[in-house]
Amino acid sequence: MDASFDQLIARLRSKPRLAVLTGAGVSAESGVPTFRDAQTGLWARYRPEELATPEAFARNPRLVWEWYAWRRQLVAEAQPNAGHRALVSLQQRFADLALITQNVDGLHQRAGAHDVIELHGNIARIVCSRGCGPCSEFDPRGAPPPCPHCGAPLRPDVVWFGENLPPDALAAAHEAAASCDVFFSVGTSSLVYPAADLPRRALSAGAMVVEINPQETALTPLAHHALQACSGRVLPALVEALDMAAA
Ligand code: OAD
Protein backbone atom coordinates (compact mmCIF):
# COMPACT_ATOMS: atom_id res chain seq x y z
CA MET A 1 0.00 0.00 0.00
CA ASP A 2 1.10 3.63 -0.52
CA ALA A 3 1.92 6.66 1.65
CA SER A 4 -1.72 7.65 1.74
CA PHE A 5 -2.58 4.30 3.33
CA ASP A 6 0.20 4.73 5.93
CA GLN A 7 -1.13 8.21 6.78
CA LEU A 8 -4.58 6.77 7.23
CA ILE A 9 -3.29 4.06 9.57
CA ALA A 10 -1.45 6.70 11.61
CA ARG A 11 -4.70 8.69 11.91
CA LEU A 12 -6.64 5.59 12.96
CA ARG A 13 -4.09 4.76 15.65
CA SER A 14 -5.21 7.83 17.60
CA LYS A 15 -8.60 6.06 18.11
CA PRO A 16 -10.79 8.61 16.32
CA ARG A 17 -14.58 8.40 16.24
CA LEU A 18 -15.52 6.52 13.07
CA ALA A 19 -18.57 6.43 10.85
CA VAL A 20 -18.76 3.86 8.07
CA LEU A 21 -21.35 4.03 5.30
CA THR A 22 -21.66 0.90 3.17
CA GLY A 23 -23.40 0.21 -0.12
CA ALA A 24 -24.05 -2.70 -2.43
CA GLY A 25 -20.36 -3.01 -3.38
CA VAL A 26 -19.59 -4.46 0.07
CA SER A 27 -21.83 -7.43 -0.73
CA ALA A 28 -20.63 -7.85 -4.33
CA GLU A 29 -17.92 -10.28 -3.21
CA SER A 30 -20.64 -12.35 -1.51
CA GLY A 31 -22.30 -12.78 -4.90
CA VAL A 32 -25.13 -10.29 -4.33
CA PRO A 33 -25.33 -8.13 -7.47
CA THR A 34 -25.05 -4.37 -6.96
CA PHE A 35 -27.96 -2.15 -7.94
CA ARG A 36 -26.33 -0.75 -11.00
CA ASP A 37 -25.13 -4.17 -12.26
CA ALA A 38 -27.27 -5.60 -15.03
CA GLN A 39 -29.78 -8.09 -13.59
CA THR A 40 -29.53 -11.65 -14.72
CA GLY A 41 -31.81 -14.51 -15.68
CA LEU A 42 -35.54 -13.97 -15.45
CA TRP A 43 -35.16 -10.43 -14.25
CA ALA A 44 -32.71 -9.23 -16.91
CA ARG A 45 -35.36 -7.19 -18.72
CA TYR A 46 -36.26 -5.11 -15.67
CA ARG A 47 -34.26 -2.35 -14.03
CA PRO A 48 -34.39 -2.17 -10.20
CA GLU A 49 -35.67 1.41 -10.53
CA GLU A 50 -38.73 -0.02 -12.33
CA LEU A 51 -39.45 -2.57 -9.57
CA ALA A 52 -38.43 -0.87 -6.34
CA THR A 53 -41.14 1.80 -6.33
CA PRO A 54 -44.55 2.18 -4.67
CA GLU A 55 -46.03 2.76 -8.15
CA ALA A 56 -44.65 -0.57 -9.44
CA PHE A 57 -46.13 -2.35 -6.40
CA ALA A 58 -49.53 -0.68 -6.91
CA ARG A 59 -49.46 -1.56 -10.63
CA ASN A 60 -48.26 -5.14 -10.32
CA PRO A 61 -47.90 -6.31 -6.70
CA ARG A 62 -47.23 -9.90 -7.72
CA LEU A 63 -44.29 -8.97 -9.97
CA VAL A 64 -42.64 -6.87 -7.25
CA TRP A 65 -43.32 -9.52 -4.57
CA GLU A 66 -41.79 -12.23 -6.77
CA TRP A 67 -38.71 -10.07 -7.47
CA TYR A 68 -38.18 -9.65 -3.74
CA ALA A 69 -38.70 -13.40 -3.15
CA TRP A 70 -35.94 -14.02 -5.71
CA ARG A 71 -33.63 -11.46 -4.08
CA ARG A 72 -34.39 -12.84 -0.59
CA GLN A 73 -33.39 -16.30 -1.81
CA LEU A 74 -30.18 -14.93 -3.33
CA VAL A 75 -29.29 -13.22 -0.06
CA ALA A 76 -30.15 -16.33 1.99
CA GLU A 77 -27.70 -18.35 -0.11
CA ALA A 78 -24.94 -15.70 0.19
CA GLN A 79 -22.35 -15.61 2.96
CA PRO A 80 -20.72 -12.55 4.55
CA ASN A 81 -17.30 -11.89 2.98
CA ALA A 82 -13.92 -10.71 4.26
CA GLY A 83 -15.05 -7.07 4.04
CA HIS A 84 -18.07 -7.67 6.30
CA ARG A 85 -15.87 -9.56 8.76
CA ALA A 86 -13.21 -6.81 8.79
CA LEU A 87 -15.90 -4.27 9.70
CA VAL A 88 -16.81 -6.45 12.70
CA SER A 89 -13.12 -6.44 13.69
CA LEU A 90 -13.12 -2.65 13.43
CA GLN A 91 -16.22 -2.48 15.65
CA GLN A 92 -14.28 -4.53 18.21
CA ARG A 93 -11.28 -2.19 18.03
CA PHE A 94 -13.13 1.15 17.96
CA ALA A 95 -15.65 1.68 20.75
CA ASP A 96 -17.00 4.67 18.83
CA LEU A 97 -17.86 3.30 15.41
CA ALA A 98 -21.24 3.89 13.77
CA LEU A 99 -21.96 1.38 11.01
CA ILE A 100 -24.52 2.75 8.56
CA THR A 101 -25.68 0.71 5.58
CA GLN A 102 -27.82 1.21 2.51
CA ASN A 103 -27.90 -2.56 2.07
CA VAL A 104 -31.06 -4.49 2.82
CA ASP A 105 -29.34 -7.90 2.87
CA GLY A 106 -28.51 -8.17 6.60
CA LEU A 107 -25.01 -9.50 5.80
CA HIS A 108 -23.32 -7.10 8.24
CA GLN A 109 -25.41 -8.56 11.07
CA ARG A 110 -24.81 -12.13 9.88
CA ALA A 111 -21.06 -11.42 10.02
CA GLY A 112 -21.52 -10.36 13.67
CA ALA A 113 -21.86 -6.57 13.45
CA HIS A 114 -24.04 -4.90 16.07
CA ASP A 115 -26.18 -1.75 16.14
CA VAL A 116 -26.22 -1.49 12.35
CA ILE A 117 -28.09 1.60 11.17
CA GLU A 118 -30.21 0.37 8.26
CA LEU A 119 -31.11 3.32 6.07
CA HIS A 120 -33.08 1.37 3.48
CA GLY A 121 -34.69 -1.34 5.63
CA ASN A 122 -34.17 -5.09 5.47
CA ILE A 123 -35.39 -7.52 2.85
CA ALA A 124 -36.01 -10.24 5.46
CA ARG A 125 -38.73 -8.21 7.19
CA ILE A 126 -42.27 -7.92 5.90
CA VAL A 127 -44.74 -5.20 6.80
CA CYS A 128 -48.32 -4.21 5.99
CA SER A 129 -48.41 -1.82 3.03
CA ARG A 130 -51.08 0.24 4.83
CA GLY A 131 -49.00 0.64 7.99
CA CYS A 132 -50.36 -1.92 10.51
CA GLY A 133 -46.78 -2.99 11.27
CA PRO A 134 -44.55 -6.03 10.85
CA CYS A 135 -45.74 -9.51 10.02
CA SER A 136 -43.55 -12.54 10.72
CA GLU A 137 -45.64 -15.32 9.09
CA PHE A 138 -45.94 -15.07 5.33
CA ASP A 139 -45.85 -17.13 2.16
CA PRO A 140 -43.05 -15.78 -0.07
CA ARG A 141 -44.49 -17.41 -3.23
CA GLY A 142 -47.06 -16.06 -5.65
CA ALA A 143 -48.97 -12.88 -4.92
CA PRO A 144 -48.36 -10.82 -1.76
CA PRO A 145 -50.51 -12.25 1.04
CA PRO A 146 -52.99 -9.99 2.85
CA CYS A 147 -52.18 -8.30 6.17
CA PRO A 148 -53.87 -10.38 8.91
CA HIS A 149 -55.22 -7.15 10.47
CA CYS A 150 -56.52 -5.03 7.59
CA GLY A 151 -56.26 -7.19 4.46
CA ALA A 152 -53.97 -4.79 2.56
CA PRO A 153 -51.13 -6.56 0.70
CA LEU A 154 -47.96 -7.22 2.68
CA ARG A 155 -44.71 -5.75 1.33
CA PRO A 156 -40.98 -5.99 2.07
CA ASP A 157 -39.78 -3.59 4.79
CA VAL A 158 -37.47 -1.70 2.46
CA VAL A 159 -37.33 1.88 1.28
CA TRP A 160 -38.47 2.26 -2.31
CA PHE A 161 -37.52 5.08 -4.68
CA GLY A 162 -39.57 8.13 -3.78
CA GLU A 163 -40.20 6.99 -0.19
CA ASN A 164 -38.85 8.55 2.99
CA LEU A 165 -36.09 6.88 4.96
CA PRO A 166 -36.92 5.62 8.47
CA PRO A 167 -36.60 8.83 10.54
CA ASP A 168 -34.75 7.25 13.48
CA ALA A 169 -32.15 5.62 11.23
CA LEU A 170 -31.64 8.83 9.26
CA ALA A 171 -31.29 10.89 12.45
CA ALA A 172 -28.72 8.43 13.84
CA ALA A 173 -26.78 8.55 10.54
CA HIS A 174 -26.81 12.36 10.50
CA GLU A 175 -25.57 12.44 14.09
CA ALA A 176 -22.76 9.97 13.30
CA ALA A 177 -21.69 11.93 10.19
CA ALA A 178 -21.64 15.22 12.06
CA SER A 179 -19.72 13.91 15.06
CA CYS A 180 -17.15 11.51 13.59
CA ASP A 181 -13.45 12.25 13.02
CA VAL A 182 -13.06 9.83 10.11
CA PHE A 183 -15.86 8.89 7.71
CA PHE A 184 -15.55 5.82 5.46
CA SER A 185 -17.68 5.49 2.33
CA VAL A 186 -17.39 1.87 1.21
CA GLY A 187 -18.80 0.19 -1.91
CA THR A 188 -21.36 2.83 -2.77
CA SER A 189 -21.80 4.79 -5.99
CA SER A 190 -22.68 7.89 -3.90
CA LEU A 191 -25.57 8.60 -6.23
CA VAL A 192 -28.64 8.04 -4.07
CA TYR A 193 -29.67 10.71 -1.62
CA PRO A 194 -30.01 11.26 1.29
CA ALA A 195 -27.32 8.60 1.96
CA ALA A 196 -24.94 10.27 -0.53
CA ASP A 197 -25.16 13.44 1.54
CA LEU A 198 -23.63 11.79 4.63
CA PRO A 199 -19.94 12.01 3.60
CA ARG A 200 -20.52 15.60 2.53
CA ARG A 201 -21.96 16.40 5.97
CA ALA A 202 -18.93 14.76 7.56
CA LEU A 203 -16.61 16.86 5.37
CA SER A 204 -18.42 20.05 6.34
CA ALA A 205 -18.02 19.11 10.01
CA GLY A 206 -14.26 18.74 9.52
CA ALA A 207 -13.92 14.94 9.31
CA MET A 208 -11.40 13.08 7.18
CA VAL A 209 -13.26 11.23 4.41
CA VAL A 210 -12.00 7.91 3.07
CA GLU A 211 -13.53 6.16 0.07
CA ILE A 212 -13.09 2.45 -0.68
CA ASN A 213 -14.31 1.61 -4.17
CA PRO A 214 -12.58 0.12 -7.23
CA GLN A 215 -14.36 2.71 -9.39
CA GLU A 216 -14.30 6.47 -9.29
CA THR A 217 -17.51 8.06 -7.95
CA ALA A 218 -18.86 11.56 -7.45
CA LEU A 219 -17.29 11.46 -3.98
CA THR A 220 -13.75 10.54 -5.13
CA PRO A 221 -12.55 14.10 -5.85
CA LEU A 222 -13.77 15.22 -2.40
CA ALA A 223 -12.24 12.35 -0.40
CA HIS A 224 -8.98 12.78 1.53
CA HIS A 225 -8.08 9.17 0.73
CA ALA A 226 -9.53 7.18 -2.19
CA LEU A 227 -8.52 3.52 -1.89
CA GLN A 228 -9.40 2.15 -5.31
CA ALA A 229 -9.77 -1.58 -4.69
CA CYS A 230 -12.37 -4.07 -3.51
CA SER A 231 -13.61 -3.77 0.07
CA GLY A 232 -12.96 -7.49 0.66
CA ARG A 233 -9.28 -6.74 0.17
CA VAL A 234 -8.85 -3.21 1.56
CA LEU A 235 -10.80 -3.59 4.82
CA PRO A 236 -8.90 -6.69 6.03
CA ALA A 237 -5.62 -4.97 5.01
CA LEU A 238 -6.62 -2.02 7.16
CA VAL A 239 -7.31 -4.21 10.19
CA GLU A 240 -4.05 -6.07 9.66
CA ALA A 241 -2.03 -2.84 9.35
CA LEU A 242 -3.66 -1.48 12.52
CA ASP A 243 -2.80 -4.62 14.42
CA MET A 244 0.78 -4.58 13.15
CA ALA A 245 1.16 -0.92 14.13
CA ALA A 246 -0.15 -1.72 17.61
CA ALA A 247 2.18 -4.71 18.13
P1 OAD B 1 -24.67 0.81 -6.52
O2 OAD B 1 -25.02 -0.43 -7.25
O3 OAD B 1 -25.18 2.11 -7.03
O4 OAD B 1 -23.09 0.97 -6.43
C5 OAD B 1 -22.26 -0.07 -6.02
C6 OAD B 1 -20.87 0.50 -5.91
O7 OAD B 1 -20.04 -0.52 -5.41
C8 OAD B 1 -20.25 0.96 -7.24
O9 OAD B 1 -19.70 2.25 -7.08
C10 OAD B 1 -19.15 -0.08 -7.50
O11 OAD B 1 -18.01 0.49 -8.13
C12 OAD B 1 -18.81 -0.50 -6.10
N13 OAD B 1 -18.24 -1.85 -5.99
C14 OAD B 1 -18.45 -2.95 -6.76
N15 OAD B 1 -17.79 -4.00 -6.30
C16 OAD B 1 -17.12 -3.58 -5.19
C17 OAD B 1 -16.25 -4.20 -4.26
N18 OAD B 1 -15.93 -5.50 -4.37
N19 OAD B 1 -15.75 -3.45 -3.24
C20 OAD B 1 -16.08 -2.15 -3.13
N21 OAD B 1 -16.89 -1.51 -3.96
C22 OAD B 1 -17.42 -2.21 -4.99
O23 OAD B 1 -25.11 0.56 -5.00
P24 OAD B 1 -25.37 1.60 -3.84
O25 OAD B 1 -24.45 2.75 -3.93
O26 OAD B 1 -25.42 0.82 -2.58
O27 OAD B 1 -31.57 2.14 -2.79
O28 OAD B 1 -26.83 2.07 -4.18
C29 OAD B 1 -27.43 2.95 -3.30
C30 OAD B 1 -28.88 2.73 -3.28
O31 OAD B 1 -29.39 2.88 -4.57
C32 OAD B 1 -29.33 1.33 -2.88
O33 OAD B 1 -29.39 1.14 -1.50
C34 OAD B 1 -30.68 1.29 -3.50
C35 OAD B 1 -30.33 1.90 -4.77
O36 OAD B 1 -30.85 1.78 -5.90
C37 OAD B 1 -32.84 1.79 -2.63
O38 OAD B 1 -33.25 0.71 -2.94
C39 OAD B 1 -33.66 2.87 -2.00
Distance 110 CA to ligand 1 centre (A): 19
154 near 145, Cβ under 8 Å?
A: yes
Tell me the residue type at 198: L
Nearest to 215 by CA among 179, 233, 242, 189: 189
Pocket lining for ligand 1, CB < 6 angstroms: 23-25, 28-29, 34-36, 48, 52, 102, 120, 159, 161, 187-189, 191-192, 212-215, 217, 230-232
Distance 35 CA to ligand 1 centre (A): 6
User: Residue 27 has what pLDDT?
Assistant: 96
22 CA: nearest ligand 1 atom: 26
Choosing from 84, 108, 114, 120, the catalytic residue is 120
* Structure confidence by residue, pLDDT tens digits, 11-68: 999 999 999 999 999 999 999 988 777 667 667 778 877 889 999 999 999 999 999 9
Distance 27 CA to ligand 1 centre (A): 9
Where helices occur in 22-122 by DSSP H, the ranges are 25-28, 48-51, 54-59, 61-77, 82-93, 107-111
Percent of the chain with pLDDT over 70: 97
Closest residue (by CA) to atom 17 of ligand 1? 230
Q: Give the count of beta carbons closer than 10 Å to the beta carbon of residue 157.
A: 20
Nearest to 231 by CA among 74, 71, 32: 32
Closest residue (by CA) to atom 32 of ligand 1? 102
Q: Which pTM value belongs to this model? A: 0.95
Nearest to 195 by CA among 216, 219, 212, 213: 219
80 near 232, Cβ under 8 Å?
A: no
Instruction: Read off the DSSP letter of residue 159.
Output: P
* Structure confidence by residue, pLDDT tens digits, 103-149: 999 999 999 999 999 999 999 999 999 999 999 887 878 899 999 99
**Would residue 120 show up in a list of annotated catalytic residues for this protein?**
yes
d(CA 170, CA 152): 27
* Structure confidence by residue, pLDDT tens digits, 137-194: 878 788 999 999 999 999 999 999 999 999 999 999 999 999 999 999 999 999 999 9
| Probe target for ligand 1 pocket from 39, 53, 102, with the most ligand atoms within 8 Å of CB | 102
SS3 171: helix
The torsion region of residue 15 among left (phi > 0), alpha (psi -120 to 50) and beta comes to left
